[in-house]
């Protein structure tokens, strides 16, 4: 086997390993913190926390006074980042297709501290 063939084989194995790692990271919800929480996302997350750890786009939109589609976009982004879980709504009192639940285990301590302060603002609204 020539050195070029050997290098190609090593490269192929590395690419396969990277794909497997990416798949595993998706499964466990791991994301590098390349994506930072913007103030708007942080407020949306604080509203979910203030709502008992579970909320829907309509509630977030009302509390932030933004359109429902924007609130939904924020909640979906937080889900992609691993901070929330998106689940089908089974509660007939909530007029939303999905509800979003907070994933406490995926939130670092600094973010939890910020959320505690910000969520106080939305608990009484």
Paired residues of 86 in beta bridges? 100
- What pLDDT is stored for residue 35 in this prediction? 64
Q: Tokens 């600094």 identify what position?
A: 110
Q: In angstroms, how far is CA 81 from the centroid of its own chain?
A: 4
- What pLDDT is stored for residue 100 in this prediction? 95
pLDDT, tens digit, for every residue of 52-110?
A: 999 999 999 999 999 999 999 999 999 999 899 999 888 888 788 899 999 998 888 88
| 0.75 exceeded by pTM | no
* Mean pLDDT score, 18-22: 88
From 123, 111, 118, 119, select the one nearest 81 (Cα to Cα).
111
* Mean pLDDT score, 7-29: 86
* Mean pLDDT score, 8-23: 90
- What pLDDT is stored for residue 123 in this prediction? 75
Please give the CATH topology (third level) of the domain spanning 34-123: Arc Repressor Mutant, subunit A (1.10.10)
Q: In angstroms, how far is CA 121 from the centroid of its own chain?
A: 21
Q: Does the pLDDT at position 49 exceed 70? A: yes
From 108, 100, 110, select the one nearest 49 (Cα to Cα).
100
Q: Where are the domains of the chain?
A: 1-30, 34-123
């Amino acid at each position: 086997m020539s050195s070029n063939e050997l290098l190609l084989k090593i490269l192929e194995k590395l690419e396969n390993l990277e794909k497997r790692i990416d798949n595993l990271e998706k499964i466990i919800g791991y994301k590098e913190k390349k994506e930072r929480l913007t103030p708007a996302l942080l407020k949306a997350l604080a509203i979910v926390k203030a709502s008992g750890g579970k909320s829907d786009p309509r509630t977030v939109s009302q509390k932030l006074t933004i359109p429902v589609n924007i609130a939904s976009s924020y909640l979906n982004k937080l889900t992609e980042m691993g901070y929330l879980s998106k689940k089908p709504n089974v509660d007939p009192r909530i007029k939303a297709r999905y509800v979003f639940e907070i994933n406490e285990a995926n939130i670092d301590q600094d973010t939890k501290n910020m959320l505690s302060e910000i969520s106080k603002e939305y608990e009484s609204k």
